[in-house]
Amino acid sequence: MDRAVDAANLGTPVGDLSILSLFLQADVVVKLVMIALLFASVWVWAIVFEKITSLRRVARSADAFEDRFWSGGSLDELYEEEGVKPAHPMAAVFGAAMNEWRRSLRVAGADISRSGVRDRVERAMSVTIQREMERLEKWMIFLASVGSTAPFIGLFGTVWGIMHSFSAIAAMHNTNLAVVAPGIAEALFATAIGLVAAIPAVLAYNKIGTDLARFAARLEAFGTEFGAILSRQSEERA
């Protein structure tokens, strides 16, 4: 296809290298690649905003909960207020442990010290931690996928665009820089968009992944401490 004719039909000069012109003059395949990468980039930023907001919210809730938990108040009251219908992961872990402990007390009776209460409580907390972390980690795989594949998708658009440009150059029998530059720029623009999508995705994945790992360790530490408390109370009641 004659690039000079395309540019004339679009009302843009052949040498116009603005972002809009690069997109409008690109081949349809390159346009699809650009649109897909732009969509992925917007989605990445939406996920990043949601994850940062969620992690800050659950961290504040965990701080407030631990303050109440270690204040020396009644565990039964805390369970009724926050454990029955937990609003955040730490309350969910606490509620699962208390629920299993109470059920074990009713079933085990006087033989509670040898009934494996602690094992059941720890399993209940472990399952709850895993479930809560899976919920918090939702869409993390998308960040990893964009970070690893977006540059290659952009590179595909670049290769396709360069092939298309070379075909147009051969048809025109003209290798003047003014003719060659726009086609090459359009092709390279796809790679640039791929990097724009990939770099934030990789940085966000590493940062958010680290924060999630820290929060998971915090839940596990709380579960270990709370399991020991319930175990001591079980032995005292035996």
- pLDDT score recorded for residue 178: 64
Q: Which two tokens stand for residue 86?
A: 């937990």
Cα–Cα distance, 216 to 194 (Å, whole number) = 32
**Residue 88 Cα to chain centre, angstroms:** 18
- pLDDT score recorded for residue 109: 53
Q: Which two tokens stand for residue 63?
A: 């701080």
* Rounded to 5°, angle at Cα 136 from 132 and 138: 120
- pLDDT score recorded for residue 49: 97
pTM for the complete prediction?
Answer: 0.82
- pLDDT score recorded for residue 224: 93
- pLDDT score recorded for residue 192: 93
Regions of the chain where pLDDT drops below 50:
1-14, 110-114
Give per-residue pLDDT as tens, 118-175: 888 889 999 999 999 999 999 999 999 999 999 999 999 999 888 877 777 777 776 6
Cα–Cα distance, 118 to 231 (Å, whole number) = 6
- pLDDT score recorded for residue 164: 78
CA distances from 47 to 43, 144, 182 (A): 6, 12, 34
- pLDDT score recorded for residue 119: 83
- pLDDT score recorded for residue 236: 65
